[in-house]
Amino acid sequence: MQPGWLAWGLGITAVVTVVVAALFVVGERLFPTEPVTPAGERSGEWKRRREIREYLRAIGEPFAEDHFVAGTHVAFYLPQRDVAVTFDAPAYFRIRNAETFVVLAEHEMPGRALGGRLPFETPDPEDLFDDEDEDDEQSVADAFDTLGVARGASDAELKAAYRERVKEAHPDHGGDQETFERVREAYAAAQQAS
């Protein structure tokens, strides 16, 4: 037989445990934790979003970014055509059975390739954009300008300039995410060019 104080102690502990667990469950429901995305994934999606934005503007298609369709969040929504574009496969499968036409855009898919997946006629990307070689040269020049170094800079100079720019642009040091990502992409482009 157990002493009375032990039974009371176990009972109170059980009640407190249930109350604390319920508080955590209610707190998580009311204030859900944002999922943490690795920087590599975030920058890939950021770049694709920019490319898709440029493509949709080039074909003159009105769009809404970060929109809800059939109760699901999508990256882009084309209201005149009732077309949703998402990077999220589960969202694609949830919307697929709705009346809205949905396109799954992988992070690796260039923005210009979106036209082949849309359910309407789109102009040829070559007709919309200048030669890619010229664009690549311009983007390399922009990369060196973003870092603030000359085109023939050494790897050490690139690294030093990158470290300086990334400190200024980092969101934890008063910068913004978009500028931070632009500096990271500029460094990658400048490294490939040198």
Whole-number pLDDT of residue 39: 46
Whole-number pLDDT of residue 36: 59
What is the Cα–Cα distance from 119 to 81, expressed in whole angstroms? 9
List the chain residues with pLDDT less than 70.
Answer: 1, 36-44, 128-138, 194
Name the strand (E) or helix (H) holding 72. strand 72-78
Whole-number pLDDT of residue 1: 63
Considering the domain 39-128 in this protein, what is its CATH number?
3.40.960.10
Tell me the per-residue pLDDT of 43-86, one tens digit each, with 9 for 90 and over: 567 778 888 888 888 888 899 988 888 888 898 999 999 999 99
Whole-number pLDDT of residue 40: 44
Whole-number pLDDT of residue 124: 78
How would you write 97-164 as a 3-class SS string? CCCCEEEECCCCCCHHHHHHCCCCCCCCHHHHCCCHHHHHHHHHHHHHHHHCCCCCCCHHHHHHHHHH
Contact yes or no for 65/79 (Cβ under 8 A): no
What is the Cα–Cα distance from 50 to 45, expressed in whole angstroms? 9
SS3 66: strand
Residues 6+ apart with CB under 8 A from 72: 86, 91, 94, 95
Whole-number pLDDT of residue 44: 66
Whole-number pLDDT of residue 158: 86
Whole-number pLDDT of residue 53: 87
| For the chain, domain boundaries | 39-128, 132-193
Q: Which residues pair with 73 in a beta bridge?
A: 68
Q: Which residues pair with 136 in a beta bridge?
A: none
Residue type (1 letter), 104:
L
Taking the alpha carbons at both ends of the chain, their separation in whole angstroms is: 81
* Global confidence as pTM: 0.47
What CATH architecture is 132-193? Orthogonal Bundle (1.10)
